[in-house]
Amino acid sequence: MCFWDSLCDICCFVLNDAVIRGHLNSSVGRSEIVGKLSMIGFVIARIIAIVLLFWALDKHPYGYYTLLRFVVCGVTAYGAWFSAEIEKQGWAWCLGIIAVLFNPIIPVYLNKEIWAPIDVGVAIILIVSLFLLRKAEVKETEDEKVKNEKM
């Protein structure tokens, strides 16, 4: 059993307790919990990338910029996939291009004067994505509510 399975089991236990006490709807399942945890992880990863991008404006050893490439490439590649999954093609293309620009395998070499505005621009894009790039909340229809209650 991995860490995430243990964390999901703990969250399920806490949420089931909340259902029993009447604080939550009983239709909350493990898949919903895993979905919410992955969204929280994606938000935290974007915040870390934003901080690293702004911190990159200062002078650092070369290893820092390699780490920055790995983090930003990973976060934006996941963001591109996630955007495609929720059918937000504009975000998918934007984040995909950023992932290619920051990829650590075949790096794009530019001088610091060019990277500085790129870092700020990408940080701003990630900040905006925190508010605009989310899964749509799906509202249950009356038929689905009745079906879920029968289960």
Q: How far apart are CA 41 and CA 91, in angstroms?
A: 18
Residue 39: what pLDDT? 77
Residue 69 has pLDDT above 90, yes or no: yes
Q: Are 81 and 89 in contact (CB under 8 A)?
A: no
State the Cα–Cα distance between residues 13 and 76, nearest whole angstrom: 33
- What's the mean pLDDT in 69-78? 95
Of 1 and 9, more confident? 9
Give the global pTM.
Answer: 0.70
Judged against a pLDDT cut of 60, whether residue 79 lies above it is answered with yes
Q: What is the mean pLDDT of residues 48-66?
A: 94
pLDDT of residue 30: 57
Distance from C-alpha of 93 to C-alpha of 99, rounded to nearest angstrom:
10
pLDDT level of residue 86 (50, 70, 90 thresholds): confident
pLDDT value of position 132: 87
User: Percent of the chain, pLDDT > 70?
Assistant: 64
Q: What's phi and psi for 65, nearest 5 deg?
A: -70, -30
The alpha carbon torsion through 103, 119, 110, 74 (nearest 10 deg) reads -10
